[in-house]
Each structure stands twice: as structure tokens, then as C-alpha cells.
Amino acid sequence: MLNKYARAFFTRVLTPFAALLIRLGVSPDAVTLTGTAGVCAGALVFYPRGEFFWGTVVITLFVFSDLVDGNMARQLGRSSRWGAFLDSTLDRVADGAIFGGLTLWYAGRGDDNVLCAVTIFCLASGQVVSYTKARGESIGLPVNVNGLVERAERLVISLVACGLSGLHKFGVPHIEILLPIALWIVAVGSAVTLVQRVVTVRREAAEADAGERTVPQGGEAR
């Protein structure tokens, strides 16, 4: 849902900014690298100290680079396999930094082993969910399923909850409970999504294997 509608909306909004960067001679790869560095800095500097509001503000400013770099590449007519690979790889780095920063908080001053474990699961399951689709496609399967919680949903749920939970330091009572709730939602949603993709790949692989067995030797299937 978010990939379909929110991405289209923000792409339109950010198109003028992308055009400005092009006129300034900035490359899409530079935007990708800068955005990832900003996300990692915001997550690993602020989150382990419990500064969830300001950390989320910094991350949000940089996370839109994921839309800007692709927009720039399309305007330049330079979409490439390398750009897609770099973008996808650094997305995993950014996700790891966000959940890694939260893990450091719960393992340290946050002092909650259960939520530390839940956050680690969010980190690991998010990486595996992405891997299942990439691996399925690499062996020639379409992997025609998105799943309950994709990367966009994981980021929005986690970052919104982090930002709002940070308002506790500004005197908003009991709002810090939103972050644990969000982490549990992401963990369960990621697990469901992982099962959905594994089941889909298993079905598509079985269909592909069955189709190959029906092809007559030296000829084509009829």
C-alpha cells in the first residue's frame, strides 16, 4: 500500500528537488551514499542515547534520498543495474543501523532484554524478507507476492513510533509505550511476510520444475 501510493506522491513532490540537484551536477550515487550516511548517523548517534525524537528527525531528512536518487536517474535517463544494486544494498545498511541503534538502547540504558530480542528479530527478519525475494528472482522465479509488512511499512511504523515516543522527554505522558508496541507489530508482520514469501517461492519453484519435466526432450512444450 505504501509502496504504491506514498512513493508515487513523494516522487511527485521531490521531482523539482531532484531536478535542482541535477543542475548542480550532483550524481544519483552521491545522493544514495549521502542519504545512507545520514540515516546511519541519526540512528547510531541518537537512538542508543534514547534521543528518539531528534534521531527520527535526522533519519527522516535523509531517508527521502531513497526516492530522490531514483528520480534523478530517471530524469537523466541513466537507470542502471549498478544503481539498482547500490540502492538496494545501502537500504539494508540503513535498516541495520536503525534497528541496531534501538538494539543498543535496549541492551544498554533502556535495560529491557525482551525488547532487545524483539528489535534484533526485527533487524534479522527484515533482512531475510528482502533476501527471499532477491534470491527467488535470481533463480528465475517471479516471486509474485509483496507480503503484509514490506520495507516501507517497517520504516514508517518504526520511525513514527520512535519519533512520537521521543516526545516523552518534552513532557508528553505515557507516549513512550508506542515504541514497544510498534516493534512487536513489525516483528510479527515481518514473520508473516517471511512465511508468505517462502510459501510463494515454494509454489512457484514447484510449478517451474513441473513445467520443465513436461517439456519433451529435444522439443518445446505443447
Is 111 assigned to a binding site?
A: no
Exposed/middle/buried for 78, CB within 10 Å: 0-12, 13-18, 19+?
Answer: exposed
43 is an annotated ligand-binding site residue? no
Q: Is 66 annotated as a binding residue?
A: yes
Residue with cell 541496531: 100
Instruction: Write the CB contacts of 222 (distance below 8 Å, at least 6 apart in sequence).
Output: 216
> Is 29 marked as a binding-site residue?
yes
CB 48 within 8 A of CB 79: no
Q: How many residues does the chain have?
A: 222
CA proximity to 71, closest of 1, 25, 20:
20
Exposed/middle/buried for 10, CB within 10 Å: 0-12, 13-18, 19+?
A: middle
Spatial distance between the Cα atoms of 186 and 123, rounded to a whole number of angstroms: 10
Q: Residue 149 region, left (φ>0) first, then alpha (ψ -120 to 50), else beta?
A: beta
Binding site annotation covers 130? no
In whole angstroms, what is the distance from residue 171 CA to residue 29 CA?
Answer: 41
Catalytic residue of the set 91, 95, 111, 209: 91
**69 in a labelled binding site:** yes
The CB density around residue 191, as the number of other CB atoms within 10 Å, is 17
Is 74 annotated as belonging to a binding site?
A: yes
Active site residue 91: yes
Which residues does the annotation place in the binding site for Mg(2+)?
66, 69, 87, 91
Catalytic residues: 91
Known binding residues for a CDP-1,2-diacyl-sn-glycerol: 29-32, 70, 74, 80
Annotated binding site: 29-32, 66, 69-70, 74, 80, 87, 91
